[in-house]
Amino acid sequence: MTDHKNFRSQVWIGGVGVGGDVSEVENFYNGATVFVTGGTGFVGKALVEKLLRSCQGLNTIYLLVRPKRGKEVQCRFEELLKNPVFDRIRSSADSDNLFSKVVCVAGDVSDPELGLSAEDKQRLCSEVTVVFHSAATVKFNESLRTAVTLNTLGTLRVIELCRSMAKLKAMIHVSTAYSNADKTIIEELVYKPPGDPDLVINCCQKMSEDDLRHMGQRLQGKHPNTYTVTKAMAEWVVAERADEIPAAIVRPSIVTAAWKEPFEGWVDNISGITGIMMEIGRGTIRSIVCDQKLRVDIIPVDILVNTLITSAWHTASFRQNAVRVYNCTSGALNPLRWEELGGLTQYHSLTVPSKYIQWYPGFSFRTNRMVHRLIEILFHFVPAFILDIVLRLTGSKPMMLNIYRRFKMAARTGEFFALHQWDFISNNIRELNRDFTSNDRVTFPVDITQVVWDSYVKDYVYGIRKFVLKDPPSTIPIGLSKLQKFYWMHRMAQCLFVGVMIHIIKSK
């Protein structure tokens, strides 16, 4: 381990603090050429933004972009650079120069050789020094064929490309802390997957969908879905096939809104916990299947991004024979329980209610599925059904039942993670943090113990309001007014319900 001196100054001149403390991470990226897969995703956007803003000495960031939903590659790339995640860069005097470093490369991890043209492949192989592979499908209900193609075979194809990169210093594979969800204690090592990746890939290319479905059920075993199974196999591919290149695996737990960067509470999707928090705040979720006494392991996206960026430096600077694994998690270092997260979400939602609030917020965690289903029908399905009728009568397009079904599916696919708890060993994250210079700890913080959950959830709730619902601060008075009305309506509904129940009991 290196011995670094500590200096107070955090002002930078060419990668060196005024006080003399060298930024080893920034120097590592000076003159670097980076290749990113999955750069249009939630984590990918934040990664590209942080690299541009904090590692300004790098030469180029190549982004692998594929057509999607009828949009061509160039259109998706232009939309990406307009995203609010880059607003800090856009406001800087050097924005044009920084954005010019981002280059779009057409391709797809589901295609042979990543779908790269001969020219693009040659350019990547001759220039790239660092690779971040974050492209994957994160859908829990994906078919085995699709999940294997994107998560496992896609990783194999990226590694094959990396083998041809003459200047490669580090390849970072973004996995998940739940790749070994069939275990309860997860160490920072690669475990043997439930199936041989080569055999499973071969079966997915030749077998029918029905045969694959049966095979997938056997393969899944104690895993909750195809996502965790295929990510486990992808890790094994990295461990077995990337032995000749400097590679590492970063395993984040549940990735959530930004802690500090690029903005406090920044988030741009409603998947997983974010969607549930949003609907808690809007009053549309009344019951969640969850053991509230268990830990919820969340990791802010900027902590993950800093871990990715610095783990590349760490991998290149402290080379090991085996692939190093970083468990990027919070449970062991800064624990948070479901009941705390739920309580904080509801509390802060009441302080800055959105104008899109649908009812007075109030929900319960429960493990009794029968009671949950009853509550779900009475307070989720029936209100959505009635609201859709009102929308039809007023000439608007009904949408509440579709929203209800979408969040019902999201909640069910996440139930496994809300009813189980894991112990993640995070020694390599600690070592990474110790090997930093003091200035690198400030620029690229990876220490989850610095996060205060109360203030973080407050910023998270506000971020959902601002970045997802697109609800500006000026509408807070409207939200508060609607909240007060819904409060009294909620109380009246409760009284009516109690009255009906008493009447039913007396009539018997």
What is the predicted pLDDT for the residue at 11?
Answer: 37
Residue 412: per-residue pLDDT: 78
Give the single-character DSSP code of 193.
P
Cβ-in-10-Å burial (0-12, 13-18, 19+) of 121 comes to: middle
The two tokens of residue 334 are 């800064």
Place of tokens 């192989």: 125
Task: Judge contact between 108 and 81, C-beta under 8 A.
Answer: no
Alpha-carbon gap, residue 36 to 25, rounded angstroms: 18
Which SS3 state, helix, strand or coil, does residue 138 take? coil
d(CA 83, CA 122): 30
Residue with tokens 């007014």: 481
Phi, psi at 191, each rounded to 5°: -90, 155
Locus of tokens 């899109």: 356
The pTM assigned to this predicted structure is 0.90
Secondary-structure breakdown of the chain: helix, strand, coil percentages, each rounded to the nearest 5: 55, 10, 35
In whole angstroms, what is the distance from residue 351 CA to residue 346 CA?
9
Side-chain-facing half-sphere of 502: CA atoms under 13 Å: 6
CA–CA dist 30, 28 (Å, integer)? 6
Contact 174, 308 (CB under 8 A): yes
Place of tokens 């468990």: 327
- Residues 6 or more apart whose Cβ sits within 8 Å of residue 212: 143, 144, 145, 203, 204
Question: What is the Cβ-side half-sphere exposure of residue 304, based on CA atoms within 13 angstroms?
Answer: 31
DSSP tag of 182 = T
Q: 16-17 and 12-13: which strand pairing? A: antiparallel
E-strand ranges in 218-366 read 247-252, 254-256, 287-289, 298-300, 324-328, 364-366
- Kindly indicate whether the domain formed by 12-265+298-330+420-449 is annotated with CATH number 3.90.1660.10: no
Distance CA 500, CA 505 (A): 9
Pair of tokens at residue 320: 């090991």
Alpha-carbon span 24 to 30, nearest angstrom: 10
pLDDT tens, N- to C-terminus, the chain (508 residues): 344 333 333 333 344 443 446 689 999 999 999 999 999 999 999 999 999 999 989 999 999 998 887 788 888 998 999 999 999 999 988 888 999 999 999 999 999 999 999 999 999 999 999 999 999 988 887 889 999 999 999 999 999 999 999 999 999 999 999 999 999 999 999 999 998 999 999 998 888 888 888 888 888 888 989 999 999 999 999 999 887 899 999 999 999 999 999 999 999 988 889 988 998 999 888 889 999 999 999 999 999 999 999 999 999 998 887 899 999 999 999 999 999 999 999 999 999 999 999 888 988 899 988 888 888 888 778 888 888 888 888 888 887 788 777 777 777 778 899 999 999 999 999 999 998 888 899 999 999 999 999 999 999 999 999 999 999 999 999 999 999 998 898 788 778 877 777 777 777 6
DSSP for 353-389, please give it: --TT--S----EEES-HHHHHHHHIIIIIHHHHHHHH
- What pLDDT, on the 0 to 100 scale, is given for residue 453? 97
Distance (Å, rounded) from C-alpha 315 to C-alpha 442? 20
Residue ranges with strand state E in 375-500: 423-424
DSSP label at 295? B
